[in-house]
């Protein structure tokens, strides 16, 4: 029997820059309880939350994570080096970050072509379960391109992770907010969503998305 908390998981968004508020907004529209946190006092983002993310609750990050079923990591990539792994230990963490040197600069932690960025995130957050999604579309498109289930022009979002149960949970969120979730097996496959990958920056229906990632993986 499904646990009540996971039938409509509570979502904590860490990051109040560009991506975090958009994800918080579309999750609220889909009926989720959402908190949002920046790096410090929630009072500092209270007004911007009220304006940009009505319905979201600004909280201290530690409190938000403690009460959440899903933690969305939407911080700038360069800030990850100082992110405390213990703060999300035991949590399902959705990684929305990408490593893209033209915009991020060279980041030593991520500058290893043997691994995708979410594989590196998982290695550092070893006590968390990482699922990669929301990172291959522009943050403005995430809100604009949502469609109800069954719409002929409904777009696809890739979801990748090493834990099938966690991927299923996140895929349900993706579906509920307005996208067809295309599940890929393993964080390694999440490299297909990154800059240079076949679906990065693209807006695709499920069939063409699946074709693109299948061709690359073959």
CATH number at residue 34: 3.40.50.720
Summarize pLDDT for 197-210 with one digit per residue, the tens. Answer: 999 999 999 999 99
Q: What is the pLDDT of residue 5?
A: 42
pLDDT of 4:
37
Contacts of residue 82, defined as CB under 8 A and 6 or more positions apart, other chains included, come to none
Task: For the chain, list residues with pLDDT below 70.
Answer: 1-7, 217-218
Q: Tell whether 187 is covered by a domain.
A: yes
Q: Could you give the residue ranges of the DSSP H alpha helices within 109-205?
A: 117-124, 139-144, 164-177
Domain presence at residue 2 = no
pLDDT computed for residue 104 by the predictor: 79
Its domain, for residue 191, covers 7-217
Domain count, the chain: 1
CA 34, CA 13: separation in Å to the nearest integer? 7
Q: What is the pLDDT of residue 218?
A: 55
- 113: tokens are 């072509």
């Amino acid at each position: 029997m499904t646990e009540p908390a996971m039938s409509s998981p509570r979502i904590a968004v860490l990051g109040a820059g560009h991506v975090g508020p958009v994800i918080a907004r579309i999750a609220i529209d889909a009926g989720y309880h959402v908190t949002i946190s920046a790096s410090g006092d929630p009072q500092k983002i209270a007004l911007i939350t009220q304006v940009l993310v009505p319905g979201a609750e600004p909280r201290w990050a530690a409190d938000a994570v403690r009460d959440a079923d899903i933690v969305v990591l939407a911080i700038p990539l360069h800030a990850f080096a100082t992110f405390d792994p213990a703060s999300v230990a035991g949590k399902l963490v959705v990684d929305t970050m990408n490593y893209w040197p033209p915009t991020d600069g060279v980041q030593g932690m991520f500058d290893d072509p043997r691994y995708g960025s979410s594989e590196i995130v998982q290695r550092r957050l070893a006590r968390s379960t990482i699922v990669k999604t929301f990172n291959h579309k522009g943050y403005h498109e995430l809100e604009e391109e949502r469609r109800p289930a069954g719409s002929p022009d409904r777009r696809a979002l890739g979801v990748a992770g090493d834990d099938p149960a966690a991927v299923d949970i996140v895929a349900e969120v993706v579906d509920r907010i307005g996208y067809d979730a295309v599940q890929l097996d393993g964080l390694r496959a999440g490299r297909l969503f990154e800059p240079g990958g076949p679906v990065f920056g693209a807006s695709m229906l499920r069939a063409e998305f699946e074709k693109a990632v299948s061709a690359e993986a073959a």
